[in-house]
Structure 1
Amino acid sequence: MPKLYYSTLSCGGANYIAAHVGGVKFDENVLVNIQTHKLAATGEDYFEINPKGNVPVITFEDGKKNLNENVGTLYYIGKNGGLLGEDETATMNALGFLASEWHKGVGAFFGKPEGAAREKAVANLAKQANFFIDFYLEGGKNEYMVGNTFTIADIYASVITSWSYFIGLNTEIPEALIKHHERIQALPKVAEAVKIMKDYEASVAK
């Protein structure tokens, strides 16, 4: 069976959540310390598994090439867990937007930009947030991103939006997107997955 390598708060965590929600089983869910690039439980060098050093990664035992890009890993989980929705193409389009625009828009603030660089980042964040709301949530009328059906895109989007709380950016996020994030996090299976991840990470850190 394949293995999933992830970290709790990164986009890799979205894969763990999606797998839990969709009932997709892995031989092992392997927590990675993304700061040290070591496996949290054993201290093994993560670069030996993925030379790129990023999470998520799904590895296979049958010689099939690893999946090491978030859109690919989420597609694998969505396909096997029934989380692609009725319009698979639209879901992939949403994942593309999240990976190329929303992820980068929020992620830009981890570098703590200042002055003109921050102003540019804030303007881009507002632009992407408005597009997210208008195009995917239809002005805030829809509860979910694709055909008003819960998909892997909603899980990924919610994880990205959650980063805003850790970097003091949540006041810059429009209410419609905060509500979308809270709605997804409140889903029983999502909340259960988040708790399992956090509890395990805390146990390994002891």
Structure 2
Amino acid sequence: MKLYYSPGACSLSPHIVLREAGLAFEPVLAPTKTHKLPDGTDYYTVNPLGYVPLLELDDGTRLREGPAIVQYLADQVPAKNLAPANGTLPRYRLQEWLTFIGTEIHKSFSPLFNAAMPDAGKQIYRDRLANRFQFVDKELQGKDYLMGDTFTVADAYLYTVTRWSKPMGVDLSAYANLLAHHARVEARPAVQEALKGEKLA
């Protein structure tokens, strides 16, 4: 398998999951600014959308979108318990979290990365993120991870997007449970491996 990634981008989530799963893969740097792969290939010829992550399977099949990729990876190694079994209510709870993180947190950060966005506009999204993080903080009360005591692919995604808070001026100091979750996930050996692999450690 190949994982097309850009350091610190949302592709860090499936990168973490690949390490947690112990699956063999080749990381391929796909810079989001230049869209040029290390061999000079135009990344748009691999993914017409131009963004990461993209997972290429050994047979050449390509899978886009982080929440789909991490569930696929989790299902390759069910014994690792990175996702509940398909068809169960806990699996739908996991999908609920992945959707929430993707639409309510991830996409709320997007305008903050846009240099053309006025400061007043950015503040609207910072306020929205504060509201969403307040909700997550409450949900994490008394739990190690989003789904309870077990680390899942949703935790990898939440950790990834939460990393953007400091550089984007989003204050998390009021959310003790969220900060504890972030530290707990970051301490995992597989997460440290992924960070080192992307030169983020």
- Match of residue 202 from structure 1: none
Corresponding residue of 2:134: 130
Which amino acid in 2 is paired with 1:89? Y
> Secondary structure at 2:190's aligned position in 1?
helix
Q: Using the alignment, how far apart are the partners of 1:175 and 1:108 within structure 2?
A: 26
Counterpart contact for 1:54–1:68, Cα < 8 Å:
no
Cα distance in structure 2, aligned partners of 1:190 and 1:173: 24
Report which of the two has the higher share of helix: 1
Change beyond 3 A, Cα 1:116–1:15: same
Question: Secondary structure at 2:63's aligned position in 1?
Answer: coil
Displacement after TM superposition at 1:44 (Å): 1.6
* Paired AA for residue 77 in structure 1: L
Q: Does the aligned pair in 2 maintain the 1:105–1:128 contact within 8 Å?
A: no
Q: Which amino acid aligns with 1:54?
A: Y
Q: Does 1:70 align with 2:73?
A: no
SS at match of 2:165: helix
SS of 1:5's partner is strand
Q: Does 1:108 align with 2:111?
A: yes
Q: TM-score, normalised by structure 2?
A: 0.85
Deviations 1:33-81 (A, max 9, x none): 1110111x222210010010010011235364x2111111111112124
Change (3 A) 1:122 1:193: closer
Q: How many residues align?
A: 193
SS at match of 1:35: coil
RMSD of aligned residue pairs (Cα, Å) = 2.3
CA distance in structure 2 between the partners assigned to 1:147 and 1:130 by the alignment: 18
Percent identical pairs in the alignment equals 33
| Mean CA deviation greater in 154-163 or 104-113 | 104-113
CA contact (8 A) 2:172 2:179 kept: no
Q: Which amino acid aligns with 2:99?
A: G
2:34 to 2, 23, 36: 36
Deviations 1:76-120 (A, max 9, x none): 112124311463221121111111111122333222654542332
Q: Any idea what the Cα deviations from partners look like across 1:2-61, whole Å, max 9, x if unmatched?
A: 3211112011111111101111222x221111110111x222210010010010011235
Q: What is the rounded CA distance, in whole Å, between the counterparts of 2:73 and 2:119 in structure 1?
A: 41
Report the 3-state secondary structure (helix = DSSP H, G, I; strand = E; otherwise coil) of the residue aligned with 1:29: strand
What TM-score, normalized to structure 1? Answer: 0.83
Match of 2:7 in 1: 8
Deviation of 1:168 (Å): 3.0
Deviations 1:104-144 (A, max 9, x none): 2233322265454233212211221122122x31xx22110
Letter in 1 for 2:6: S
Q: What letter matches 2:18 in structure 1?
A: A
- In the TM superposition, 1:43-192 aligns within 5 A as 43-62=40-59, 64=61, 66-81=62-77, 82=80, 83-85=82-84, 87-111=90-114, 113-134=117-138, 136-137=139-140, 140-171=141-172, 174-192=175-193
Structure 1: how far apart are the matches of 2:175 and 2:14?
25
**What is the CA–CA distance in structure 2 between the aligned matches of 1:103 and 1:172, rounded to whole Å?**
19
Counterpart AA for 1:101: E
Q: Give the Cα separation in 2 of the matches to 1:125 and 1:190.
A: 24
Please tell me whether the aligned partners of residues 10 and 160 of structure 2 are also in contact (alpha carbons under 8 angstroms).
Answer: yes
